[in-house]
Amino acid sequence: MKQIIEIAPSLLSADFANLAREIAKVESGGAHVLHLDVMDGHFVPNITIGLPVVKSIRKITKMPLDAHLMIANPGQYLDDFIRAGVNWLSVHIEADIHIERTLHHLRDNGVRAGVAINPGTSLSTLEEVLPLADYVLIMTVNPGFGGQKFIPSMLKKISRLKEIIVSNNYQARIEVDGGIGPGNLQDVLTAGAEIIVAGSAVFSSEKDASEAVREMKMIACGQTVCLG
Ligand code: DX5
Ligand code: ZN
């Protein structure tokens, strides 16, 4: 079975004074999805963007918005993010004690339901909810900051999850996030990743962001099927 690959630039490393321009660049480079990192200073030590910014971004792009909530009490904010116009939403398994309800709620509201998992959290914590997830976001760095180094042992975690999904015939796709760029893209694809988040490799590259997206698509879409 061929994998359908999507490239999801993370806005975290973009120039925040020129968000519209940065978004237009990755859209013209053919990015499939726009990844938005929401951090609250509690679940992770950093604070980033919130609802007003998400609402404004919704008005200026046709790309699906993929919100990655790195916040405490995520269940409390689901409806706000749905109303803000996100298309995909992932919540950390470590932050949500009612993740089963969350995933149902997202699906019932027409949003792709994602469950995110930190590098130190076992895949076994996903067992009960895997059938309910549209995607699993495997963190390949500890969340909180862009520009960190990919944790190599996560390759095995990705392939183990892939095996579980395939052998149980689940629908969930695998998204990977943290330290990914042209140098290790092929490795995560081989392990089974399908949705590729890249922040600094796109927005802090010496190349233009649109060119950086094109380069990643060339690698990813050479042997596999890409959307668009
Ligand atoms: C980290 C965020 C990532 C981050 C990735 O906590 O979830 O989405 O922006 O940035 P890079 O690709 O630079 O590791
Ligand atoms: Zn992220």
Residue-wise pLDDT tens digits, 121-143: 999 999 999 999 999 999 999 99
- Please tell me the number of Cα atoms within 13 Å of 150 on its side-chain side: 25
Determine the 3-state secondary structure of 89 from DSSP: strand
8 pLDDT higher than 70: yes
Span 112-124, pLDDT tens digits: 999 999 999 999 9
Q: Quick: pLDDT tens for 98-117.
A: 999 999 999 999 999 999 99
Q: How far is ligand 1, taken at its centre, from the CA of residue 68, in Å?
A: 10
Q: Is 68 in the pocket of ligand 1 (CB under 6 A)?
A: yes
- Catalytic residue set: 37, 177
138 by Cβ neighbours in 10 Å (0-12 / 13-18 / 19+) ranks as: buried
pTM: 0.97
- Per DSSP, which regions of 10-111 are E strands? 34-39, 65-70, 88-92
Residue 223 has pLDDT above 90, yes or no: no
117 and 137 in contact (C-beta within 8 Å)?
yes
Report whether residue 87 contacts ligand 1, using a CB cutoff of 6 Å: no
